[in-house]
Amino acid sequence: MEFMIQRVAAKSKKHILILLLVPVLLGLIGWFVPVGNEPAAISAEAELSLGSYQNKDLNDPKLVVGLLTNTPFYAEHLQGAGEPEEILSKLMVTQVNERNISLVYTGTSTKDAVEMVNEIAAAFLALDRQKFAEKQSVIQATIDSLERQEVAPEAQVDQHRFLYELKTAQYDIKPASLIKQAQEANVEGQALSSRDRAILGVLIGITLMFFWMVIPELVRKPS
Report which residue type is found at 83. E
In this predicted structure, what is the pLDDT of residue 33? 75
**Among candidates 51, 65, 118, which has minimal Cα distance to 96?**
65
- DSSP H helical ranges for 15-151: 16-32, 56-59, 61-68, 71-77, 84-89, 110-148
Q: What is the pTM of this model?
A: 0.64
In this predicted structure, what is the pLDDT of residue 153? 77
Which CA distances in Å does 178 have to 9, 116, 195? 66, 15, 41
Cα atoms in the 13 Å half-sphere on the side-chain side of 109: 3
**Among candidates 42, 47, 156, which has minimal Cα distance to 107?**
42
87-117, pLDDT tens digit by residue? 999 999 999 999 999 999 998 888 888 989 9
In this predicted structure, what is the pLDDT of residue 185? 52
The low-confidence residues of the chain, meaning pLDDT below 50, are 38, 187, 189
In this predicted structure, what is the pLDDT of residue 8? 67
In this predicted structure, what is the pLDDT of residue 223? 55
Residue ranges of domains in the chain, CATH in brackets: 2-37+191-219 (no CATH), 41-132+174-188 (3.30.70.1130)
* 3-class DSSP state of 43: strand
Yes or no: say if 116 and 81 are a contact pair by the CB < 8 Å rule: yes
